[in-house]
A and B are shown apart, each in its own frame.
Chain A
Amino acid sequence: KNQVEQSPQSLIILEGKNCTLQCNYTVSPFSNLRWYKQDTGRGPVSLTIMTFSENTKSNGRYTATLDADTKQSSLHITASQLSDSASYICVVTLLGNAGKSTFGDGTTLTVKP
């Protein structure tokens, strides 16, 4: 069964600190991996997208890495801000015309002042 597992389930950090969220997947064949941010009460918003050949992608203070050999991805947040408090969801898409995506259960990040 294709799965996407994220860790930790939840994380609390102080404002200004860095943190790293993990995503391990077994989805195969792999097309792309995306990280989404979901603020409370809103729909998820795409942060980064990486294809098989890419191993890093940045979006401001967010940097995603991908190791397609070990099937692992991480999302690094630098100099966290209160507005980074949200759920972060890893999504892996199958190769093929169905474009089926498998969602991880998310990591809930809380940034405290």
Chain B
Amino acid sequence: DTAVSQTPKYLVTQMGNDKSIKCEQNLGHDTMYWYKQDSKKFLKIMFSYNNKELIINETVPNRFSPKSPDKAHLNLHINSLELGDSAVYFCASSQVYVTNEQFFGPGTRLTVL
């Protein structure tokens, strides 16, 4: 069984479009995250949700809006896509009040043309 899954795996779109990436975890964790990994392979946190509530919101353009319908899902919606949004986006989950070990999804490679 996949622990943390993301869809789609690849996403190619035109500048200005709106797109969403979905994430689901079946680990029963209470916290989920979105990370952006750029071409230099640096992994940067974007958002963190604990029990459906936003707890970390790093400096991210407000074109990015996370939505957590329930503890097992954290979707990322991106408006008015720009060239600089091209990157690999990783979803992760953890149990914060235990070790906070984060389990990562396989990533979504977003290419904005």
Contacts and interface: CB of A to CB of B under 8 A. Distances in A.
B107 A42 contact: yes
Nearest to B99: A49
A58 interface: no
A15 interface: no
Given A98-B56, A103-B43, A43 B104 contact: yes
Interface in B88-113: 90, 92, 94, 96-97, 99-107
Given A89-B43, A105-B42, A46 B55 contact: no
Interface of B: 4, 31, 40-45, 48, 55-56, 90, 92, 94, 96-97, 99-107
A42 B106 CA distance: 5
A99 interface: yes
A106 to B, nearest CB: 6
Contacts of B101: 34, 46, 49
Contact of A106 (B43, B48, B56, B90): B43
Contacts of B90: 43-44
A59 interface: no
Given A43-B92, A43-B106, A106 B42 contact: yes
Contacts of A103: 42-45
Please give me the 6 A-B residue pairs with the lowest Cβ-Cβ distance, nearest first: A43-B104, A99-B96, A99-B100, A103-B43, A44-B104, A105-B42
Given A44-B104, A101-B45, A103-B43, A32 B99 contact: yes
